[in-house]
Chains A and B, each alone.
Chain A
Amino acid sequence: MSYAVGDALPEQSYRVTRADLVRYAGASGDFNPIHWSERVATSVGLPGVIAHGMYTMALAARALDTWAGGPGRVRELGCKFTKPVVVPDDETGVTVVVRGTVKNITEEGVHVALEVTCGEEKVLGQPKAVLAGE
């Protein structure tokens, strides 16, 4: 696809349930119990079971793939993990929303500033990426 500086990329919404976290634990190898056990999560002061930060980051990467028209076009991706995504033990889960704006186009590629939210809160700090140019 072609990009122009200032473009707002189409908003992507992803539902996250406990089952997704269990599946991600297996796929990634990160079995930290704060991502599947209410008992352990609350014992370390968390409000409940939280999503892996890397899972939320993977959702940002998924949005980038969608915008870029397929996988393999991400040249750079980074973020801070600022707020936990608390995932309740129900069928509905929570919704993570990924937004992106084209900030710059250079020889390196297309620089995208991301915004990743759950409810009203930004869950990733300064998420940004570089996509391969056309």
Chain B
Amino acid sequence: MPVDASLVGRTFPPTEPYVVSREKILEFAKATGSTYDGGAAPATFPTVVAFGAMSALMEDPTVGIALHRVVHGEQRFTYTRPVVAGDVLTATLTVDTLRQIGGADIIGTRSEITDADGKPVCTAFATLVHRGEDPA
């Protein structure tokens, strides 16, 4: 079943505030072999927060996404500033685009990641490929 076209433009509720700790950044940096000097977190660290927003989209029963048929097609980050320890981050996901290609739904999402003051930190754009039941 294709994802409903009315999904385009829909904004999901913001994720629960995520408190960024030094330990979490260090864990992420070690896992990716990156350097952490107590300042900026690795560039892809915001995925930890964006992942929560993505889960909310994929697990919403009204959306009609079957999790095991989702593939991450594309990812892009634009940064206003790096993430640092002490940040309290929230991600708000909007579905920007929806296309059907060869029985698959191509879902373009944008998650605005903001700090405790509501100021922008980073925008995470993710394209999800939701394969249909009978791929062409």
User: Which A residues are closer than 8 A to B by beta carbons?
Assistant: 14, 20, 23-24, 26-30, 44, 53-55, 57-59, 61-62, 64-65, 70-72, 74-81, 125
Contact = CB atoms under 8 A, between A and B. Distances in A.
A70 B79 CA distance: 16
Contacts of A55: 32
Given A28-B51, A29-B52, 15 more contacts: A24-B32, A26-B31, A27-B48, A28-B48, A54-B44, A54-B75, A55-B32, A57-B44, A58-B44, A61-B43, A62-B33, A64-B43, A74-B79, A76-B76, A78-B125
Given A62-B34, A65-B35, A78 B40 contact: no
Contact of B74 (A28, A59, A74, A78): A78
A35 B20 CA distance: 25
A67 to B, nearest CB: 12
B133 interface: no
Interface residues of B, number: 34
A71 B33 contact: no
A71 B37 contact: yes
Nearest to B78: A76
Given A27-B31, A61-B43, A65-B42, A53 B68 contact: no
Nearest to B72: A53
Given A71-B36, A72-B82, A65 B31 contact: no
Interface string B24-48: 1001101111111101111110011
Contacts of A81: 71-75
